A and B are shown apart, each in its own frame.
Chain A
């Protein structure tokens, strides 16, 4: 729930927006987990001013608070709190100092400074007031108290999907750093913006693709902070942003170190001079991404400045992605030759791993059907007739893919790289995660036997919360995957390729 007020000479008009759950109307804003709350202040203000061209100013509610437009109007314009006419710019607070809304002049946006709102702390009115002061010419920006009783302690996870805790600190740090930079640099308006999204592998890929999809006139960022471990991904995925290389290990995949904490700690490890000349925006996960039905590439596009305002703008409704071929086949497959299948059956966390018994059936079935099977990073697979390989870099992965006709992978970086970057014939395995967040648009040579159970995405990393076992039962059955491999091979290499697999001569025949 997001709200705003358009302030015109004639009066006030209130607007209600919502984090989209699928529809994208003028009042639905794409629910992006990688965008800090300030990005929504910018977007809501932009839409409000567009809808009300005569407005001189706009009041935007704090995105982490569920405030309806009617309530916002009462709080901002009603009695109680500080009296007098509404100043602009200003930060409206509860009866204490917590910011509940921002009063922003139209000229801030006309001067192209909207992106600076991404740096709002949304938790400290003093810091936000100083940021707005710089953005609006350096004058005093008052804090206007409202009649709302003190917001008090906020939950770690809000119904709007925000993950607070460490993230609140991260938003505050980015705001304070920005104010410091504005104070020290007279040329701050021209300094670059960097998205802090250093890992993990798949996330770097999504951001890289997003950077290529955002129209140049909407791209609000110039650089991206990325861990050195993922720099090859950043480069091989054609990221349009400048890399700012972080020479520390990526955050652990468990929740031992939150994204917000990692952001704060990592700032001390930025290359020399970066902090003194770059606005760094926290673009790791501010929200629980699985609550949003949209692809993470669209999440990232929104973060980078693209409004993604209609369903037609979303990834699935676009034409072929990034001018890549509809599909790029692996090595030639002559009649009678064995179909070569590459598999990635382990993912970023344990529950993504394809269950042990099922993977044995899958490998054996393909081997029995005459396929040559290679499995990445799973030594046990050799016992079932597979070759074991490693792919520690995008170059190694590319080389492996070039030697294989079809790729089967769980929801992990290799899957996204093969399907979204290379357009390789691919079968995707999703179980405990939502396909819509990270699958590829449908095309020939791509199959996704989608998980059917409503328990997913469960958000668990290493055990099923329903059955209390360490495997996800929402994964497709081996027979579905074998069939999908054959379908993909047929689409990518022609009907002869499937006939080349001696189906009729298998053991079961």
Chain B
């Protein structure tokens, strides 16, 4: 990162690509690459999954050299850490962090994502979670280790869960932790519940309307009768350009929400009967600008020490969102990632010292906004 900006780009990471060790055993053994990539398009609009390129190949994270190579490639691209999923297994959590941690330091750390699930004793579960994530080189936000809570809307008592997590973290000698919930905007009480910040949901978690609502009666009957590809109606297909624009439009009004930058997304392998979410007409150039724009936004609107951008993902091959080198496109996307990080870093640097918009005490922004709205209404009415 270009000094003096303190801004870190993190990537979601699937640590299951290992051929031995506790996580591999807990997941039933076998070849994780085969599990991830053995899916074939059933619809004509499903793009096939890509294959790992020569640069990293089908690595085994349990092999220290392979894990080191992955971290080195990520570092070289400007990534500042990975976000690992916490997998629940027989009352404890496994993350696979032990494979990566030897290669981490203060410039490249590990953060964790936890997806809540119904458990008998939430306090015991929180203790197990903290045991699993303690002891690794952490990504820090505001000087605290970072924990992401996925699907927080499933929590029956968000404030209670936050309190439990904080207590368990303190008991595990993690100290105070920085809690981030996956949610689109700072409305809905998650910040009030004690979360420190929010994170854009994934494309599948954040859609403007359900696919079923796109159907009219005739198209539904057509699909059911086999006269049309039912997948076209069951799946949600979004234009990438419009998707990235929608993620960045009026961002400051959504509050303290970290951007999640997505290169591609297609979860059809996990929705064989329809209901997949797909991004269409993806573009590495737009992706680079999306990444750079997200960095500039964070640099401008977030306090120092809390400037994070998330890339989804480093190696979620099954969702086609990976930025790792591929057989088909080589290192193009990884290069664009590096370019985007450099570009975002430079542009953010050019705006250092720029006052945050809407902060001048001498200006009444509410009155200005109301006046403009009133004039817009008048013009609309007269048109």
A contact set with B: CB distance below 8 Å: 20-23, 293-294, 311, 314, 316-317, 357, 360-361, 364-365, 368-369, 436, 441-442, 448-450, 452-456, 466, 477-480, 482-484, 486-487, 490, 495, 498-499, 503-504, 506-509
Contact = CB atoms under 8 A, between A and B. Distances in A.
Contact of B357 (A316, A480, A495, A506): A480
B371 A311 contact: no
A466 B242 contact: yes
Contacts of A364: 375
B362 A365 contact: no
Interface in B296-349: 296-297, 338-347, 349
25 contacts: A21-B338, A21-B346, A23-B342, A293-B346, A316-B350, A441-B350, A442-B350, A452-B251, A452-B297, A454-B244, A454-B248, A455-B289, A466-B245, A479-B365, A482-B368, A483-B363, A486-B362, A487-B363, A490-B360, A498-B363, A499-B362, A504-B364, A506-B371, A508-B373, A509-B367
Contacts of B339: 21-22
B372 A361 contact: yes
A490 B372 contact: no
Given A22-B344, A293-B343, A486 B368 contact: yes
A490 B363 contact: yes
A499 B244 CA distance: 40
B120 interface: no
Given A452-B250, A479-B372, 17 more contacts: A23-B342, A294-B346, A357-B376, A365-B368, A436-B346, A436-B347, A454-B245, A455-B244, A466-B241, A479-B365, A479-B368, A482-B368, A482-B372, A483-B360, A495-B362, A508-B367, A509-B367
B38 interface: no
A454 B345 contact: no
A478 B378 CA distance: 15
B20 to A, nearest CB: 36
Contacts of B375: 360-361, 364-365, 368, 478
A459 B308 CA distance: 29
Contacts of A499: 362
A360 B378 CA distance: 11
A509 B374 CA distance: 11
B4 to A, nearest CB: 11
Interface in B226-250: 241-242, 244-245, 248-250
Contacts of A357: 376, 379
Contacts of A436: 346-347, 350
B290 interface: yes
Given A361-B375, A453-B249, A22 B346 contact: yes
Nearest to B248: A452
Find the residue from A456, A483, A503 having the highest chain B CB count within 10 A: A483
Contact of B360 (A21, A311, A452, A486): A486
A454 B362 contact: no
A487 B344 CA distance: 26
Nearest to A484: B357
A426 to B, nearest CB: 14
B245 A453 contact: yes
B77 to A, nearest CB: 12
Contact of A507 (B249, B349, B351, B374): B374
A21 B343 contact: yes
A365 B354 CA distance: 25
B347 A477 contact: no
Nearest to A441: B350
Contacts of B376: 357, 361, 478
Given A21-B343, A499-B362, A503-B367, A361 B379 contact: yes
A23 B353 contact: no
B200 to A, nearest CB: 14
A151 B340 CA distance: 30
B3 to A, nearest CB: 9
